[in-house]
Chain A
Amino acid sequence: MPELMIQVENLTKVYGATRAVDDVTFNVRKGEVLGFLGPNGAGKSTTMKMLTCFLAPTGGRAKVAGFDVFEDSLSVRKHLGYLPEDTPLYKDMTVLEYLQFAAAMRGMSSDRSEKRIKEIGGRCGLREVAGKLIGELSRGYRQRAGLAQAMLDDPDILILDEPTSGLDPNQIVEIRQLIKEVGKEKTVILSTHILPEVQATCSRMLIISSGKLVADGTPDELRAREKGSRYRLLVETNGTTQDAIKAKLTGIKGVSRCDTAAGEDGALAFTLDAAGDEDLRKVLFRAAVDNKWTLLELHREAASLETVFRNLTTHEVSKS
């Protein structure tokens, strides 16, 4: 097995006039859980469809488990488990029948198929619904059945397109736990537009926007790249108007933006954005003392992934 499980070079997919995926390059190493992040319609699913050999790239190349997705697609698919968006399973089959079908399609021997179905069915919590028709299952169970199908043949690589969409919070935690566990030995790519998902499960993330790769790194790396910090203030004043305070705060050196926020009774709240690395808390405290405001709260936080994500993706989306 090669150390680089997925190699993508200048991958491009053009539909008519739109470039759904535009010159994307990245690698995934063995044992990585890669989060593929981007707004809806950014090209996540299209990239996954090319990696799983469902669509052929217009340009560039991709290798999965060392095999080219276009020239050696059968070998690629043997090493791959895939859960497409919206989990399109056969609704007229029971969970057990479906897993047996998937095992037969993958050419698994009947002994191995029986053993794996038992094992994976247990891990995915499918025991109690094994005999139920997939069409009658709740969204969460259907998702688990799809996941079980993808993991059935013990593939080296799992590609999961929005594995937690439409699940309730408890189910999301379960599925994430499962993915994390699998990710210890396997290579996983999962797409999502939910940020906490990436923080909770992924060792590395890619941000894609309008088909282009805009960021690649661990969540911490990406956070560190985004300089600046945000402050929350809650002050009590004796008569000074909100606008006057806002004007004073905006005047402080280093503050790039000041917004008013919902305060408490008799207290006013503000959010400040500062661009530099400098810690402004002392300056803010001094300002409050000088102006005779009573400082009830002062909190500083580093740029969140959400800020990173928004900065990297919003303007591109509004353009299109």
Chain B
Amino acid sequence: MNAALTIAKREIRTYFNSPIAYIVVTVFMLLAGYLFFGSLFIERQAEMRSYFNLMPLLLSFIVPAMAMRLIAEEKGTGSLEMLITMPVRDWQVVLGKFLGGMTLLATLVGLTLFYAVTVMLVGPLDRGPAIGGYLGILLMGGSYMAIGVMASTFTRNQIVAFIIGFAISFALFLFYRLVQFMPEALRPLLAYLSVESHFEAISRGVIDSRDVVYYLSVMVVSLVIATVSLESRKWK
């Protein structure tokens, strides 16, 4: 566990020592801010719904961009060999990378608490949906992050890692929109697999264990696949 935390700490330092974190944070804040304040001033509504509604799509490409370098970069430069020949288990490497990425995501989400404060200043904020929304962002973002880490183990090319991570995340996002075009029998399955359906429930302030379990399963499955993928170098 200590090894995973050591790796996570190193990732955080790398993020903030390089332009990546600042670029991602800026792009995210600009997009989110534009959409949030647009609705605040135009619709004159003291609520965060439109901001939260946007998150499943926005994070589906922001998070893979944060995750793409986590392992692919080390594969490319060869430093993975150095890391993995230290006394550390492969799952600790994957977990450390994931935790490092999550810290950056949490920082990002933390910055947008500013929106909640703004809403509170202009009118009464509905606490339930706000807390649910932020929790939902972390859970959904965590799922995207785990998928991104997994994609990052598949290749030494960061762009390829981004595209794979985004494609899977976006597909999970899209399922909900496609439900109505699908045969009746498939609908419940697609709705269940969709990240958005679960997020919608949580961001209404209804924290249902089934939704939480869904996100945790996506994270666990992705990180397990990532570990297996990392171990695949040892296949005979």
Contacts and interface: CB of A to CB of B under 8 A. Distances in A.
A90 B233 contact: no
A104 B6 contact: yes
Contact of B17 (A56, A92, A102): A92
A231 interface: no
A56 B85 contact: no
B234 A56 contact: yes
Interface string B76-105: 011101111111110000000000000000
9 contacts: A52-B85, A74-B89, A77-B86, A77-B88, A82-B85, A89-B82, A93-B10, A93-B13, A107-B3
B227 to A, nearest CB: 15
Given A54-B84, A74-B89, A78-B87, 12 more contacts: A55-B234, A57-B236, A77-B86, A77-B88, A84-B82, A90-B79, A91-B77, A102-B86, A105-B83, A105-B87, A106-B87, A107-B2
Contacts of B3: 104-105, 107
A273 B3 CA distance: 59
Interface residues of A, number: 32
Interface in B102-119: none
A86 B76 CA distance: 13
B14 interface: yes
B235 A101 contact: no
Given A54-B233, A56-B234, A107-B2, A86 B85 contact: no
A54 B77 CA distance: 15
Interface in B1-53: 2-3, 6-7, 10, 13-14, 17-18
Contacts of B84: 54
Interface string A74-89: 1001101010111011
A232 interface: no
A101 B6 CA distance: 7
B86 A84 contact: no
A49 B234 CA distance: 11
Given A88-B81, A90-B79, A105 B236 contact: no
Interface majority SS (helix, strand, loop, mixed), chain A:
loop
B235 A56 contact: yes
A90 B82 CA distance: 10
B83 to A, nearest CB: 8
Interface string B161-203: 0000000000000000000000000000000000000000000
A93 B2 CA distance: 20
Contacts of A57: 236
A303 interface: no
B81 A84 contact: yes
A58 B236 contact: yes
Interface of B: 2-3, 6-7, 10, 13-14, 17-18, 77-79, 81-89, 233-236
A53 interface: yes
Given A55-B234, A90-B10, A92-B17, A82 B82 contact: yes
A106 B86 contact: yes
Which 6 pairs of residues, A with B, have the shortest CB-CB distance? A88-B78, A56-B234, A77-B87, A88-B79, A104-B6, A52-B85
B79 A105 contact: no
B124 to A, nearest CB: 46
A54 B81 contact: yes
A80 B85 contact: yes
A20 to B, nearest CB: 13
- Which residue, of A54, A85, A105, has the highest number of chain B Cβ atoms within 10 A? A105
A275 to B, nearest CB: 45
Given A82-B82, A88-B81, A74 B235 contact: no
Nearest to A53: B85
Given A74-B89, A78-B87, A84-B85, A55 B233 contact: yes
A105 B18 contact: no
B82 A92 contact: no
B85 A105 contact: no
Interface in A140-155: 146, 149
A68 to B, nearest CB: 13
A107 B85 contact: no
A248 B11 CA distance: 74
B175 to A, nearest CB: 38
A16 B182 CA distance: 43
A64 B84 CA distance: 17
B9 to A, nearest CB: 8
Interface in A1-46: none
